[in-house]
Amino acid sequence: MNNSRFARTAGWLALPCLVAAGLLAWYVTREPATPFSASDSANAALVSRGEYVARLSDCVACHSLPGKAPFAGGLEMATPLGAIHATNITADREHGIGAYSLADFDRAVRQGVAPGGRRLYPAMPYPSYAKLSDDDVRALYAFFMKGVQPAAEANIPSSIPWPLNLRWPIALWNGLFAPTTAYAQKPDQDPLWNRGAYIVQGPGHCGSCHTPRGLAFNEKALDESGAPFLAGALLDGWYAPSLRQDHNTGLGRWSEAEIVQFLKTGRNRHAVVYGSMTEAFNNSTQFMSDDDLSAIARYLKALPGEPRRDGAPWQYQATAAAPDAPGAHTYATRCASCHGADGKGQAEWMPPLAGATSMLAAENASAINITLNGSQRIVAAGVPDAYRMPAFREQLSDREIAEVLSFARSAWGNQGGAVQAKAVGELRGHTDPASSSPIILHMR
């Protein structure tokens, strides 16, 4: 009797307990509400893809300043006519591109035309970005709209005076020099070559520095169909060397694996990044996938050299040190600890000067500039470099620098030729941070 009443009471109690347990189980394992729908996962992938395209394109190099919000603009570019400043390309609706539609964005990136028909200056490398695929432009737009924090940073107006600041003539320049179609696959080449050609000509905009420019500041060639394409050019006080198969001044002695290593780690047994390439490495090339770097290497190795421009092929020659030769003593005391008395450098950490492009090219701006001002910090995979070229601006006179470079450019089989003290003095003035005549975008 007692037992059956107990069982009945227990039965009535068990029911609410079961319900409560069920509710608890639901509550602790439920998926909370989110404003995002399932289809947004595709958007996340698109934003991430766009971030990679922005790395390939190195947008950050001009549109960001150290210590400021990313892509808020501000980099000053001096031109012979006055200064222009890279603009805010965050999604801020007032100062940035937050009000841009995808079509507006595309017109700016690939055609150099802002909303309202205002032409951009070709300091923005839209003649290269014109080659971007539709998919990459869409991804890039998604990244800037959703992957970048909007920054209310006002743009800085250019200081170019009227009437030189009229933009409409640029439309005519575009008609002559800027391509209007995206990269077209070359069916007679393999996919790796095509991918490399796409990155080099399009987002990578390698030709902006490495291709010589004509009278109208136009790149003399925009793809492999033109012999001047990536044949080397003077820009910003640096000589961007040939990326073609030139034995001396190009990549003729580099293997595909060495090109990949250089773009991935900033160094290989031939060279270490310096000058403007340090920024391209720090911000762009090291973030490229191994497949893309292999594609770039494959494409560059397919660009033939030009022996008439390049000169007799360099070969190492042991140089008996004549301590009384001008420059030899400076070399022994200032340079040899790192670059070696034999000019061969130290593995991939300190670059050789024997056979180096800067010691073989007739253009000596890079050799002078790096000696005066040293190298910038190379940051590979988040780790700063252990060894850096010091600046000799304060320690060596124009004549001493001219002598030591003349020595190095004629030792070990190098054939770059003598450097004049006057050339050192000019570059010293242009690259002096306190100078009133700062380096200008020569283009040529």
CA-nearest of 317, 433, 319 to 372 is 433
For the beta carbon of residue 201, count every other beta carbon within 10 angstroms: 25
Q: Please check if 338 is assigned to a binding site.
A: yes
Tokens of 193: 């070559």
Joined together, the tokens standing for residue 368 give: 């002078």
Which residues lie across from 119 on neighbouring strands? 113
Structure token pair of residue 57: 């394109």
Residue number, 298 or 334, with CB nearest to other proteins: 334
Residue 31 near other proteins by CB under 8 A: no
Q: Is 214 an interacting residue with respect to other proteins (CB under 8 A)?
A: no
In angstroms, what is the minimal distance from the CB of 373 to other proteins?
A: 14
Looking at residue 425, the DSSP 8-state letter turns out to be H
210 assigned ligand-binding residue? yes
What would the x/- binding string for other proteins be over residues 336 to 355, using CB under 8 A? -xx-------xx-xx-----
Q: How many residues bind other proteins (CB under 8 A)?
A: 16
Residue 321 to residues 324, 333, 359, 415, 442, Cα–Cα distance (Å): 9, 13, 17, 17, 38
Give the residue with the Cβ less far from other proteins, 122 or 327: 327
Rounded to whole angstroms, how far apart are CA atoms 119 and 310? 38
The window from 158-166, 183-191, 298-306, 328-336 that contacts other proteins (CB under 8 A) reads 328-336
The structure tokens 């050799």 sit at 367
- C-beta closer to other proteins: residue 264 or 334: 334
Helix (H, G, I), strand (E, B) or coil at 202: coil
C-alpha to C-alpha distance for 279 and 277, rounded to whole angstroms: 5
Is 320 among the residues that bind other proteins (CB under 8 A)? no
Q: Which is nearer to other proteins, 388 or 393 (CB)?
A: 388
Taking residues 77 to 106 in sequence order and writing x for each that binds other proteins by CB under 8 A, - otherwise, the string is ------------------------------
Q: Which of 250, 258, 269 is nearest to 293 (CA)?
A: 258
- Tell which one of 32, 187, 323, 382 touches other proteins (CB under 8 A): 323
Cα of 296 vs its chain's centroid, Å: 14
Among positions 364-423, residues that touch other proteins (CB under 8 A) are 386-388, 390
Q: Based on CB atoms, which residue is closest to other proteins, 323 or 382?
A: 323
Three-state DSSP at 7 gives helix
The smaller minimum CB distance to other proteins, of residues 101 and 333, is found at: 333
Stretches 2-10, 191-199, 332-340, 401-409: which one binds other proteins (CB under 8 A)? 332-340
Give buried/exposed letters for 336-369 (b at 16+ CB in 10 A, else e). Answer: bebbbebbbbeebebbbbbbbbbbbbebbbbbbb
| Residues of the shown chain interacting with other proteins in the complex, contacts defined by CB under 8 A | 323-324, 329, 332-334, 337-338, 346-347, 349-350, 386-388, 390
- Annotated binding site for heme c, which residues? 59, 62-63, 206, 209-210, 335, 338-339
